[in-house]
Chains A and B, each alone.
Chain A
């Protein structure tokens, strides 16, 4: 049970679910409020298993996200590498935060991440996004406690280490 690639599929599966939620069609009014699912899952694994999921994983996942979004290659890769970096830097502190404080922490990382994505979009793309693009950070913070508890239970049940 302590073999090295240990229950990697649980981690991969959680990201597949996050990708699915990201690609799910939503009604137009809800689009801006779509939480940054992938960033959330990434932060969770960075906090829980910092020696396994980190900046490089974040970067690779971001590259895949770029392909899904059809955005410029490297944009979300940079963003998620940043998210993983911040999460790793603070992981010891963030782990012991109460859930509410954690939510604020994750919300702020997501806000910074979305802000960077917004800059890159508006700098290089021709579609202009408004500040409504950042609403996702709020829903991310609100949903964080649930995501955290669900992923923690899954991790314990599946004994992912």
Chain B
């Protein structure tokens, strides 16, 4: 081997094989490429690889925590720097709000009982109480422009695939990948996400799909003569068997008719702070009555 490598790269050590076996590199690359495309086609077609993803997410989790740490530290510092007066003020505000909400929930409890009784009379049971997990959203960038969030709860805390994500104001998205310690959530505004909804005012059913704009949804398959007006509240219909019925999704902001198009273009602005919430609620487990035969017959 006549060629002497510059000391800058080869370093201080003894002679190394200068020509690493070139055909074997190509063979390795071809193997890797074939494996990759195999993985891509399997992953694209179905979710058989969920276990692999879940296992690898354990490797990724420390990095996610590491990245999130400064953001969390900054929040902690901001909290501890708050003046006493601001804290007292906030405390008073929260107490007031708490009082308001608990009065409302008292009334809600009575209504719930009444509703249950009436439903019993009608012979249809609905479970209202739902287990809720609160999860922090990690400040993690995923694929550019993809509307995904990473949360700090995983299968160890009882998170499952497809679990609905809510915030205080409405539906945020659903869990799209679960690891033991963390999970990924797909936001409702992602174009890959569709959600069965109904217009609260008249019960008109539709499907809310994420749009190209980062903070809006559109309703698919709303006929041109449908009774939809700007300002209408859109709520989940519970028909997809994933989301419980009755949670607010957003408000209709725009209804436009394109000549020649059989369906109206309906734009919905999500009521949840999709994309910049720090905390989400995971609702579940799936209410048992959704496994009813009547509902499963809705599935194709």
Chain A residues within 8 Å of B, Cβ to Cβ = 2, 16, 19-20, 22-26, 31-32, 34, 47-48, 50-51, 54-56, 58-59, 62-64, 66-75, 77-78, 81-82, 84-85, 88-89, 92, 95-96, 120-121, 124-129, 133, 152, 155-156, 159, 161
Contacts and interface: CB of A to CB of B under 8 A. Distances in A.
Given A23-B67, A32-B144, A68 B36 contact: no
A20 B56 contact: no
Given A63-B56, A78-B36, A126 B141 contact: no
Given A73-B42, A127-B143, A127-B190, 5 more contacts: A31-B144, A51-B20, A64-B59, A74-B37, A95-B6
Most chain A beta-carbon contacts within 10 A, residue among B29, B62, B71: B29
B11 A75 contact: no
A124 B43 CA distance: 11
B143 A59 contact: no
B40 A70 contact: no
A127 B191 contact: yes
What band does the interface of chain B fall in when counting residues whose beta carbon is under 8 Å from A?
35 or more
Nearest to B9: A95
Contact of A55 (B29, B145, B190): B29
A20 B57 CA distance: 14
Contacts of A50: 20
Given A64-B60, A67-B60, A74-B35, A126 B25 contact: no
Contacts of B43: 72-74
Most chain A beta-carbon contacts within 10 A, residue among B16, B64, B141, B148: B141
Nearest to B144: A31
Given A67-B53, A68-B60, A74 B141 contact: no
Contact of A23 (B13, B38, B64): B64
A68 B63 contact: yes
